Amino acid sequence: MPDATKSAEVRRILDRYLVEVVELYDLCPWARGARLGGELAVEIVFGSPSIDDWTIAAKRALAHESTRVAMVIAPEIVIEPGALRTIRTRLSARLSGVGIADFHPEATLDLATPARLVPFLRRSPDPMLQIVPLGFLDSIRSGPLPDRMHQAQALGGHATVKRDVGEQIASENHAAVTLHHPAMAATLDAIAADRAAAYARVGISASRSV
């Protein structure tokens, strides 16, 4: 199967996640505008990418003048969440002027504290890294509170925010997911099932079972 067909399926599954989860539940208020405005750059690396592969893909995505958010997806990689965080750290050392957040499909819901909820908020269909230019983060942080601070926190995962604002936003996210998590989990499961069937159909090696 041509890579273009495989890539189209990976992107379709990503868009389902963005539209049906991230945008529907307003997890990141900037997401819809970035996606529809052509400011989201997506790169897909098949197989088990090396750190050089991750770096090349990230730089290629960030090279677009319109890019505000870059996502590098590895749909076939078999990797634990901790190992993906290690890749994020290594990539951060190679790229200057960006914030990087790791997203992984193997995340359980933990509502004990707002901080422990973060992995569930980043439960993407495929392992991926989200990369955002710090200049864009700075422009968001300079805007009015609280919405733009919410965006800054959600975008980079490493953005510096005032403690009281960060706690306020984390509390709001925690409250929203507490209310909606059954529906959110059902949607994530449906997307995972769609992913498994679609990837098998086009010959993408599934990195995990549903």
Q: Is it the case that residue 37 has pLDDT exceeding 70? A: yes
Count: domains in the chain: 1
What pLDDT band is residue 2 in, cutting at 50, 70 and 90? Answer: low
Q: Is residue 208 included in any domain, yes or no?
A: no
82: left (phi over 0), alpha (psi -120 to 50) or beta: alpha
> pLDDT per residue over 134-174, tens digit each?
865 555 444 444 454 444 455 555 444 444 444 666 777 78
Q: What is the pLDDT of residue 156?
A: 53
Q: Is residue 172 included in any domain, yes or no?
A: yes
Q: Is residue 206 included in any domain, yes or no?
A: no
State the DSSP string of 77-109: ----HHHHHHHHHHHHHH--SEEEEEE-S----
Q: Answer for the pair 182, 4: CB distance below 8 angstroms, yes or no.
A: no
Q: Is it the case that residue 209 has pLDDT exceeding 50? A: no
Q: Is it the case that residue 120 has pLDDT exceeding 60? A: yes
Average pLDDT over residues 109-118: 90
Q: What is the pLDDT of residue 160?
A: 46
Residues in the chain: 210
Hey, what are 187's tokens? 């949607």
Largest CA distance in the chain: 51
> pLDDT per residue over 177-203, tens digit each?
899 999 999 999 999 999 999 999 999
Q: Is residue 205 included in any domain, yes or no?
A: no
> In which domain, by residue range, is 94 found?
3-199
The dihedral sign for the CA sequence 137, 142, 145, 148: negative
Q: Answer for the pair 119, 108: CB distance below 8 angstroms, yes or no.
A: yes
What pLDDT band is residue 1 in, cutting at 50, 70 and 90? Answer: low
Q: Is residue 209 included in any domain, yes or no?
A: no
Q: Is residue 149 included in any domain, yes or no?
A: yes
What pLDDT band is residue 17 in, cutting at 50, 70 and 90? Answer: very high
Euclidean distance between CA atoms 80 and 70, whole angstroms: 22
> pLDDT per residue over 57-111, tens digit each?
999 999 988 889 999 999 999 999 999 999 999 999 999 999 999 999 998 999 9
Whole-prediction pTM = 0.83
Q: Answer for the pair 66, 193: CB distance below 8 angstroms, yes or no.
A: no
